[in-house]
Structure formats: structure tokens, C-alpha cells
Amino acid sequence: MATQRTRRETLLGFQPPAIGEEEIEAVVETLRTGWIATGPKAGELEERFAEYVGARHAVTLASGTAALHLALLAARIGPGDEVVTTPITWPATANVIVHAGAKPVFVDVRAEDLNIDPDAVAEAIGPRTKAIIPVHLAGQPCDLDALLPLGVPVIEDATHAVESVYRGRKIGSIEGSLCAAFSLNATKNVAGAEGGILTTDDDELAAEIRELRLMRRKPGALYDIRVAGFKANLPDLLAALALVQLEKVEEHAAVRRRHVAAYDAAVAELDGITPLARDPRDVHALHIYVVRIDPERAGADRNAYRDALAEELIATSIHFLPLHRLTFYRELLPEQPPLPVAERAGDEVLSLPLSPAHSDEDVADAVDALRRVHAAVSS
């Protein structure tokens, strides 16, 4: 057992962005150009991101949510249609289905990594099913080889998965997938404060999303629109920030790997606290570090651990509460059957601080606090 350290005197933030002088200079330089709305920086980010993931197209958008929403609209999914998805995700994944006028169909997840269960997806597919939205939870790619042959378009929620590689294939350019939606939110591995990127090899889909994201104007006083588009474009200010973050993605990934290794070593000693599985065949983006807390073995439930860590000045989060248990979806889908794996996970999951902005000392503080809490409740 490692020697215990002195308790922190300041709050350890859960997931602060790793912003350095390079990001600040890039934003200031963009301000000085006078072009702060969508312009050359957004275009450069599209080119660089498409190259990074190996996709034919990358379309910058206002958010990862916008990327998913416009993908559904461009795929002509709307009223009367159904979209199969996971309940273990942020509400945006299902909200966009509702915004498109379709019905979300929640299915259960696999116990080991909490990614969507392909067998449950296959059972849920019916005549109204028009798409599947799986989530690469925490950065672990879901089982695409089992989902893609089901004959339904797959729209990947890759908002946790910038660095992820599935069976040797980069997420964002998987053959057979319609598209993948990434996030540039301040907490993400490539942080642009806000923003999103959609990647696809489908020329028509990319063109449609480019038109939907912003009503284009022709030069001169006259202009025209072909569709009722959305204000979903990414400003150059945010693109400039994301470009620097993309340059640092491997450097930051190395820090994440070191911090995850420290957590892995610590929780291996703590009965009843288990990290989500990471498939050794894949590259995990290590976006968040999620553990499950078994109250029978760990001595207390997730909420008790969360509260005790807060007293230790260690911020945590929950990824995620099952969507079908939340008020809106409980009322929208009153006949939703139980999803026992997701429901149990929703009571057990806790995410520990993980960011390249954290020092090794910060993670050591989090580890030591977790050890103290475990010793106190399990004695």
C-alpha cells in the first residue's frame, strides 16, 4: 500500500481544458485578422481533421449535437421513423432523434464496457427503423463489426472518440458507417470551447450538411436559399483553438495514458471498484475514466463515494444516468421495457478526474483520496 499524502487544500477540477500559450496566441492572431466568424480557419480545420481520421469529408459545426442532428435530417429521418440508440449517453444523443421528429428506441448495453449491445440492437430493428446511433463510450469503440451488417445506416456518436481506433481502423472513417459526429466541447480531447465535426465518405451527405448548417448567400445584394437551414456553423475563433489542440492530440494522449495507468494500479487494490473494460484490440481515446462501485464489496454506494470525494476536494462526474429513467423520456416512452444492465450501471458509475491539464501530483491526490474513502467505508 502506498504512503498516504497530505489532503488537498484546493479543488481538483474534474476535466479542465489544457490551454497553453499556443492556443491563446492562435485566438489572438485570429482576432487580429478581423475574420472571427466562419472562414479560413474553419476550412483549415476541416482539411486537417479529415486527414487525421482518414475521411473524405469533415464538416465543422456548432456542436457535436448539431452534427448528429443534421446527419439525421440529411439522411431524411423524421416523423414515423425510429432510431435505435443507447441509454448510457448524454441526453443530446437521443434529443436529436426527437428534434428530427423520430422516435428513439433504447436498448440495453454490455456489462463490461457499457457500449450498446449489438444483440439487443438486432432484436429492436423493425420496419420503422431508419438508423442506429451507437456511442463510443468514454473512448472505447463499440462493436461496429456486429452493427454494420444489420442493414441499417449507422451514425456514430464519436464525441468521446477523437483518438479511437477500432480493430486497426480509425473512428471517423470506418467503411460502411454513414458518418461520425465528434465534439469540440471544452471538456473534450480536442477542445475548441464549443463546436463539432462530422466526418463521412458520402459526398451527397457532406454537401447536404454543409447546406443545412448555414444559409448560403450569393455575392451581391441578391441571395437565395434551397432549404430552411440552421445556424450551426463553427466560428474561426473556435476553429483556431481547435487547430492547436489537434496538433497536441498525441502529446495530450500520452499524459492521459500515464494518468490512466496510475488509476488502474490504484483501483486494482480496492475491492468493489472496477474500471470499464478497454479492449486491447482497439485504441481507446481515454476521454473519461469511469469506474463502477459495487456497494456490497466497496462498503458504500456510488453517491456516498461521490460525496466523500467532494469533501476531499476531488471533483467527479457521472457518465451516465440511463436516459430512459429521466423524466422527459420516462414520460415520452411510458411502455419502455426495463434495461437491467444499463439501470444497474446508472447506479454504480463514477468518473474520476482526467485531463492533460492535471499534473501527476493531481492524479496522485485523487488516488490517495479514493484510497482514504475506501478505507473509511469498508473498514
List pLDDT tens digits, range 95-142: 999 999 999 999 999 999 999 999 999 999 999 999 999 999 999 999
196: three-class secondary structure by DSSP: strand
What pLDDT is stored for residue 227 in this prediction? Answer: 87
Name the residue among 345, 366, 346 with its Cα closest to residue 354.
366
Report the distance separating Cα 351 and Cα 287, nearest Å.
Answer: 10
| pLDDT value at 59 more than 60 | yes
Domain made up of 21-247: CATH architecture: 3-Layer(aba) Sandwich (3.40)
**Mean local confidence (pLDDT), 86-96:** 98
β pairing state of 196-200 and 129-133: unpaired
Report the distance separating Cα 45 and Cα 51, nearest Å.
Answer: 10
350: three-class secondary structure by DSSP: strand
Cα distance from N-terminal residue to C-terminal residue, the chain: 15
Using the structure block, give the residue that is written with the C-alpha cell 466560428.
Answer: 235
Confidence grade of residue 215 (pLDDT, cut at 50, 70, 90): low
**Mean local confidence (pLDDT), 359-368:** 98
Delimit the domains of the chain by residue range: 21-247, 249-378
| pLDDT value at 209 more than 70 | yes
Is 188 one of the catalytic residues? yes
What are the beta bridge partners of residue 180? 156, 199
φ, ψ of residue 376 to 5 degrees: the values are: -70, -40
For 288, other C-beta atoms within 10 Å of its C-beta total 23
251: three-class secondary structure by DSSP: helix
The average confidence (pLDDT) of the chain is 96
List pLDDT tens digits, range 9-48: 999 999 999 999 999 999 999 999 988 899 999 999 999 9
Which of the residues 41, 188, 231, 248 is marked catalytic? Answer: 188
* 276 burial type by CB count under 10 A (0-12 exposed, 13-18 middle, 19+ buried): buried
φ, ψ of residue 15 to 5 degrees: the values are: -150, 65
Domain 249-378: CATH superfamily is: Aspartate Aminotransferase, domain 1 (3.90.1150.10)
What are the beta bridge partners of residue 291? 275, 350
Residue 264: partners with Cβ closer than 8 Å, 6 or more residues away: 275
- Measured CA to CA in angstroms, residue 107 lies from 82, 179, 231, 321, 324 at distances of 12, 21, 32, 14, 10
What pLDDT is stored for residue 220 in this prediction? Answer: 58
Using the structure block, give the residue that is written with the C-alpha cell 479529415.
Answer: 50
Using the structure block, give the residue that is written with the C-alpha cell 499534473.
Answer: 359
| pLDDT value at 222 more than 90 | no
Using the structure block, give the residue that is written with the C-alpha cell 481538483.
Answer: 12
* Cis bond upstream, residue 320 (ω within 30): yes
Phi-psi sector, 267: left (phi>0), alpha (psi -120 to 50), beta: alpha
| pLDDT value at 219 more than 80 | no
CA dihedral 11, 17, 22, 26 (to 10 degrees): -130
* 53 burial type by CB count under 10 A (0-12 exposed, 13-18 middle, 19+ buried): buried
CA dihedral 133, 137, 142, 148 (to 10 degrees): 10
What are the beta bridge partners of residue 12? 314
**CA atoms within a 13 Å half-sphere pointing along the CA-CB vector of 187:** 13
List pLDDT tens digits, range 129-176: 999 999 999 999 999 999 999 999 999 999 999 999 999 999 999 999
- What letter would DSSP give residue 198? E
| pLDDT value at 286 more than 90 | yes
φ, ψ of residue 277 to 5 degrees: the values are: -65, 145
Q: Which amino acid is at 312?
A: E
